[in-house]
Structure 1
């Protein structure tokens, strides 16, 4: 059983067959007419036209290393490239009617050559992908029709556990379907679903096909983008996850302006604070992000953050874990101003931080992993135009040189997970345990280097 159940497979196109509604008996209902049976229908009639169906098609390219003996005896190439056509369906949400902006999950439209958006009134439009972010699983599309309906975006930081929510999407070959539930938890992380995790957990039924759909409050405002489920067979068991609307909004604003996410960087290492660590640090708090190391000349260093600090709030909002801090900082753009509340030697301190740009930073690799000491890493592309992490400089005899890295190598993956930026490499190595296999592109060939 795996946590990683994306909801793209078996998604469906919205038809004119209407939608079904499932509601909790305890859910408060609304009516727009006197003496009429209470219903969520008035709110849903306003909200559901903003949720669309997305159909994609494209070609999936896979690369497989050919064993050396086959290359020697049969003259086979070093790697075998296979291309397979694919089709898929998912959901999306119109967030700006004037500009035609539609937000969905990156995994719904990833590698798609053609994207078609279908509205609830039956109209279909070819969409252009303005940009995406695989680490947070967000993509922004643009369509050009008139008379669109957009969902207003709520402040997802104001959500509380127990708030009622409604999920809208297109599951299991059915037309648009609405389900209801509550917010089961906030700030969920450590699920290995994505690179940056700060999920809303809900028991509103979410199934295959809901990816990119809307999670709304009872005012019909968007509070999250439905993304993943936890279930033994990919079906609903009452545990679904959505990307908070505030996180989504910050990311799509960057995509709309720059065509990419220019991720913010704080420049610290750390972990969750727990009872044992709190006792060791003589701190009277058991929830927050413990700072174990501050990178010299980073945004955190400039702001005066110190090793041993415990960060408890971000912009006045309580912080539950280090993973939640990473996700919130990473979703904020480079140059964003952030107020952090922290505990230092038993006293509360507020600091203002201006975030660095994680996507344009050049770092010493030892800041990321001891085995890479001696290498200088930078975002960029090799001569063939392949994105990755470039070895910009390498010291002779260093640990990085001893594992086989060379200057101008491009690290493109860690343990078969694609790595496009220094920030993504840092994230992959932070979560890696045991033997680590670096996928490296060197010239026109690729190879694996092993870190033990």
Structure 2
């Protein structure tokens, strides 16, 4: 390779780095290298080994009903993943919920070789985030959060994790896309897409920028047989940070509620409403007395930004709102009756029972409503089922009351959504029909 080329490449790379590090030298010419950066941040990434026991599921309905009984069989399992130290003093580690799900033992291994048992501080199934803690006798290195809202397609990325249990591995790429959703991976989706090589075991690991800051938690890949094909997804750092703060403050997620139903801004919809934008979250309906209603949002409005950051889709808005806590004040940029407005909204909470005031469609063709206080059977009422709909095909009928998913009792729509998101294999709805319990197998 010509020395002049190497020199030009080194000058280009030097402009990308904000930290002071001497580049490597070959034949007297500077050669760009990520080695100084990796040496600095890699101690903040840990390997995770888990073990535990999970209930056995089969595709046979009779076996499933046996599983739902009190003597359900269990099967031992073990797994591998990654995590990121985000507080060196207190030993806090962020990873994916699916990495530590059902684990009885969570072993953390540092790059130094030291190992510690971790405890679970909190977790959020809908976003696939878990917060762990270790009591380390050795000084730890933590990774700082970047502002993921400032990411752009084309920004350089570096992934650090534990693929296939090989130990700490580093790959690089770029931000391929932002605001990815509709992947049916989790309930709240607003992923960073990257082409950095990520494989099984990378889950919970770090996606960083060239300043060594955390821009996302690697969580999923799209590829045959679980192998890398250059399409991977990470949960944005801002979303992770917001959820972590809730877990530390409350010990749980107290999710903020805006109080709207909506969808994507399609070209047809934009043309029909005379909109100058082809992105954002279109509001179909505003829940009475909700946070959105009190702030002045109306059906037909288009939300294009939250706290100064553009919103590409309704799913992205939902994910951002879902990572904020109840009582949080936010700023929304809205197109309302052809006028651009900025509205300040204080998010409501689940305790406000906003979801119960307006029927919410969860299963296509079925309209659901939380049971009223004092109703004999607590759960979710099926108040209407459209003919020839997916809900009718599943076997739901008007008058059903959904009381559980598998063995998890549900008393409202939010609990129903959470239980469905957690159910990864065969899903059975426990329903009261004409005062008698029945089960409907969904898959």
TM-score (norm 2): 0.81
Q: 1:358, CA displacement in angstroms?
A: 3.1
Given candidates 439, 442, 450, the residue that maps to 2:429 is 439
Please provide the CA RMSD for this pair.
3.5
Q: Contact 1:359 / 1:421 at 8 angstroms: preserved in 2?
A: no
- Confirm or deny that 1:108 pairs with 2:95: no
Q: Normalized per residue, which structure has more helix?
A: 2
How far apart are the structure 1 equivalents of 2:61 and 2:230?
A: 45
Which residue does the alignment assign to 2:267?
Answer: 275
How far apart are the structure 2 equivalents of 1:69 and 1:93?
A: 39
Which residue does the alignment assign to 2:3?
Answer: none
Gaps of 5+ in 2: 1-8, 26-30, 386-395, 422-426
Given candidates 33, 57, 81, the residue that maps to 2:22 is 33
Q: 1:425, CA displacement in angstroms?
A: 3.4
Which residue does the alignment assign to 2:405?
Answer: 412
- Confirm or deny that 1:86 pairs with 2:81: no
How far apart are the structure 2 equivalents of 1:429 and 1:77?
A: 17
> CA deviation digits over 1:231-263, x for unaligned, max 9?
012111111000000000001111111111111
> CA deviation digits over 1:175-229, x for unaligned, max 9?
2110011001111111111100000000011011100000000010000000000
C-alpha change, 1:85 and 1:377, in structure 2 (3 Å) is farther
Q: 1:131, CA displacement in angstroms?
A: 1.0
C-alpha change, 1:357 and 1:109, in structure 2 (3 Å) is same
Q: 1:417, CA displacement in angstroms?
A: 11
C-alpha change, 1:287 and 1:88, in structure 2 (3 Å) is same
Given candidates 185, 199, 202, the residue that maps to 1:207 is 199
SS at match of 2:379: strand
Q: Contact 1:439 / 1:448 at 8 angstroms: preserved in 2?
A: yes
How far apart are the structure 2 equivalents of 1:205 and 1:65?
A: 34
> CA deviation digits over 1:26-60, x for unaligned, max 9?
98366833773321111111100000001111110
Which residue does the alignment assign to 1:47?
Answer: 41
Q: How many residues align?
A: 401
SS at match of 2:274: coil
Q: 1:332, CA displacement in angstroms?
A: 0.5
Which residue does the alignment assign to 2:129?
Answer: 138
Q: 1:399, CA displacement in angstroms?
A: 4.6
Q: Contact 1:364 / 1:373 at 8 angstroms: preserved in 2?
A: no
How far apart are the structure 2 equivalents of 1:34 and 1:427?
A: 49
Q: Contact 1:368 / 1:429 at 8 angstroms: preserved in 2?
A: no
Describe how 1:208-247 pairs up with structure 2 within 5 A: 208-247=200-239
Q: Contact 1:338 / 1:353 at 8 angstroms: preserved in 2?
A: yes
More displaced, 112-121 or 37-46?
A: 37-46
SS at match of 1:364: helix
Q: 1:376, CA displacement in angstroms?
A: 2.1
Which residue does the alignment assign to 2:379?
Answer: 391
Describe how 1:415-426 pairs up with structure 2 within 5 A: 422-423=413-414, 425=416
TM-score (norm 1): 0.80
Q: 1:363, CA displacement in angstroms?
A: 3.9
Given candidates 372, 376, 382, the residue that maps to 2:371 is 376
> CA deviation digits over 1:126-169, x for unaligned, max 9?
10001111110000000011400000111000111111010000
Report 1 or 2 for greater relative contact order, CA contacts < 8 Å, sequence distance ≥ 6: 1
How far apart are the structure 2 equivalents of 1:166 and 1:319?
A: 25
How far apart are the structure 2 equivalents of 1:329 and 1:439?
A: 28
Which residue does the alignment assign to 2:295?
Answer: 303
How far apart are the structure 2 equivalents of 1:331 and 1:166?
A: 24
Q: Contact 1:404 / 1:449 at 8 angstroms: preserved in 2?
A: no
> CA deviation digits over 1:352-401, x for unaligned, max 9?
111111377364375213745565279xxx9xxxxxx9428x79xx6599
Which residue does the alignment assign to 2:171?
Answer: 179
